[in-house]
Amino acid sequence: MHITVAKFGGSENVLTVDIASDLSLKDLKAVIEAESDFGIKADEMSLFYEGKLLQDDSQTLAQCKFNDYDLVTCQRSAPMNGLLPDATTMLRRNMNPRDPRQLFEMLRTNPEMLQQIRRNSPQLVDAIQRGDFNQFMENIAAQSPEMQQRMELDRLASLDPFDPEVQRRIHDIINMQNVQENMEHAVEHAPEVFGHVVMLYINCKVNGHVVKAFVDSGAQMTIMSKACAERCGIMRLVDRRFSGIAKGVGTQKILGRIHLAQLEIEKNYFATSLSVLEDQPMDMLLGLDMLRRHQCVLDLHKNVLRIGNVVETSFLPESELPIHARLSGNTPDIEDEDINRPADNHHESRLGQSATATSTSSPFPEDSIRHITKSGFTREQAIDELRLTNGDATKALVSLMAKSLSVPKRKR
């Protein structure tokens, strides 16, 4: 049969030997010594198969259940100070892989293995050589969260199993392991879920002025910011009898409604109504009322918005989106505003920021939270939405705005 032999720690040192299956492990070691350049004598050689030390040199290869071209790892036996070879064998045989203390003692007596570990974990080896078990455990836990969890489970298993706190801790660790496993499956089978999705914008014209409109089928009505309405010269058409407050996840002040406006898309004209909001970061948002009225289809396969059977217009790439909607830039204007703010106002804002942070702690930057709360949303709503959008302030604000829109009641 053929046996593939690799020297431990040397991926390039691989040897394939042709040997009869009725020969012993001692014969195999002699062949390896003669045919390889490993530089290990037969009587100093240790062989490992499937991670286990082959201890009985009198066993034949057939008794070891070798198959053709199976891999055997070869390394120099490390003498253990103060222990005879029989004692070394006994220690390895009784080694409990779940006992970190035994692992620590075994590594201390194996210089060759320490040399291999030093390449990747010099701090771990230093702790072993100093005999610092506590530092050894800290390094192990830092490098392997899974081992830390397993060690914690072993520790908890030795405590009172009926203690509610112990049961809760075990439940948390097992649950976290399930979450980690689920994430690993996602990374392997659906890595695209960890990417960012560019929002859907189209180019259009209102009263001859170019506007980048956000397409949002989750919004109930089509809206426009006051600044955009002024720029397009249609503020004079706002019916302020339809002013009010848009309520939902947050609140926004509605200045009024433009009952009929022409929207130009790809040189075709479509009628729509607009609700004008006072403080709205987006110029325009095409809501469900507009999309239903003109039987629009969001064709994500072709990356186009199809309006009835009349026209198709492509969604804009990220490079053509408004600055606040790009994934690569989150509201740079907020930073400029803070820099140019007078000293007194800046000091007051710092105090207000500290007070707010005390009331509700958050892992997200205060600038991102303030960017959302100044649009009428509460701090708690801002933090919750930032969690859902992985800290993207613009996406969080857009999402909250889309959820908050509702048809205003007409004043009597």
Report the 3 state secondary structure along 267-334. CEEEEEEEEEECCCCCCEEECHHHHHHCCEEEECCCCEEEECCCEEEECCCHHHCCHHHCCCCCCHHH
Angle, CA 110 vertex, CA 108 and CA 116 arms, to 5°: 105
Tokens linked to 190: 């659906």
Asked if residue 263 lies in contact with residue 204, where contact means CB atoms within 8 angstroms, the answer is yes
Q: How far apart are CA 14 and CA 10, in angstroms?
A: 8
- CB neighbours (10 Å) of residue 16? 11
Query: In the chain, what is the straight-line distance between the N-terminal and C-terminal CA atoms, in Å?
Result: 97
Q: How far apart are CA 398 and CA 401, in angstroms?
A: 5
Query: What pTM was estimated for this model as a whole?
Result: 0.46
| Residue matched to tokens 């390094």 | 139
Residue whose C-alpha is closest to residue 283's, from 207, 180, 362? 207
Longest dimension (CA), the chain: 103
Task: Classify strands 45-49 and 70-76 as parallel, antiparallel or unpaired.
Answer: antiparallel
**Residue 348 pLDDT greater than 70, yes or no:** no
**Residue 253 pLDDT greater than 80, yes or no:** yes
Asked if residue 213 lies in contact with residue 284, where contact means CB atoms within 8 angstroms, the answer is yes
Q: How far apart are CA 42 and CA 25, in angstroms?
A: 10
Task: Classify strands 244-247 and 251-265 as parallel, antiparallel or unpaired.
Answer: antiparallel
Looking at the DSSP bridge assignments, the partners of residue 265 are 268
Which DSSP letter does residue 233 get? T
Of 18-22, 26-30, 64-68, 158-162, give the lowest mean pLDDT range: 158-162
- Per-residue pLDDT tens for 170-221? 888 888 888 888 988 888 888 888 777 888 999 999 998 999 999 998 888 8
Mean pLDDT of 101-108: 76
Instruction: Cite the active site residues.
Output: 216
b/e code 158-172 from CB counts within 10 Å (16+ = b): eeeeeeeebeebbee
Asked if residue 399 lies in contact with residue 380, where contact means CB atoms within 8 angstroms, the answer is no
Of 45-49, 160-164, 371-375, give the lowest mean pLDDT range: 371-375
Give the dihedral of Cα atoms 360, 364, 370, 371; nearest 10 deg. Answer: -150
- Which segment, 1-10, 296-305, 394-403, is predicted with the most confidence on average? 296-305
Q: What confidence tier does 135 reach under pLDDT thresholds 50, 70, 90?
A: confident
* Residue length of the chain: 412
- Per-residue pLDDT tens for 62-84? 888 888 888 888 887 755 443 33
